[in-house]
Amino acid sequence: MSDAAAFFDLDKTIIATSSTLALGRAFREAGLITRRSMAKGAYARLVYHLGGVDADRMDRLRDGLAATMTGWDAEQVRSVIAGALSELIDPLVYDEAVALIEDHHAAGRAVVIVSSSGEEVVGPIGEMLGADQVIASRMVVEAGRYTGSLAFYAFGSFKADAMRELAARNGWELGDCYAYSDSHTDVPMLEAVGHPYAVNPDRALRREAAVRDWPVLTFAHPVPLRSRFPTVPAPRRSVAVGVAGAAVVAAAAGWHAARSHARRDG
């Protein structure tokens, strides 16, 4: 049992991109999405890296994802994602983040990944990284298929609520806990703990960190996870063809959200 925990956001904190959007290429190679769809996904990724995914866009991404996934076979989705993770996510892991995770484990703290991405993506990545637990968005599944409804959306204040609940169950004092994130939308997550850190912060979070005197960390060296954890499986060069899983749906939803926002602003 640990007396405290370190809570890590996932995208642009542990890995150098969006965990969901990074999986799109595997489905293109499997013939499940078109080259044009991949181009749209690339645009969504660019917007994401430029810091353009605010709370409003995330809400529309959530709604688009939930609606589009209605009827998908949940087990097939998990299988497709699992087949792609080791190849596409592994090389994007920040060396600094992995070292920090190891340091927290060595200090006797639990490591928890907290991400708005779906548990289908976050769970396997957490296992690859040796995280003790994950907090992720969950979709409702009935009779083995997604209903299009969300059971839990791990975003903003909901992340902080889930952290408090998990801390209470495990006997962790949040004042002794750590949290790391790149996004201003995660201010509730950071202010919930005694040791908050801004990692590769967007402009808004950088300003917030300066006002609150929060430390700012820069992670800049993506490395293969297998270089630190030899038990991580080698990349698979083929992906089982079944359904276009959550990653593809989210890439498309991210594109539509970015395009709608651009039209509104223009």
Catalytic residues: 9, 11
Question: Do β-strands 178-181 and 5-9 pair in parallel, antiparallel, or remain unpaired?
Answer: parallel
Single-letter amino acid, residue 70: T
CA distance 252 to 64: 9
CA distance 128 to 229: 8
DSSP one-letter string for 21-80 = GGGHHHHHHTTSS-HHHHHHHHHHHHHHHTT---HHHHHHHHHHHHHHTTT-BHHHHHHH
Q: At what angle do helices 35-49 and 246-265 cross, to 10 degrees?
A: 60
Other C-beta atoms lying within 10 Å of the C-beta of residue 193:
25
DSSP one-letter string for 84-96 = HHHHHTGGGEEHH
DSSP H or E run through 243: none
CA distance 245 to 32: 9
CB 101 within 8 A of CB 131: yes
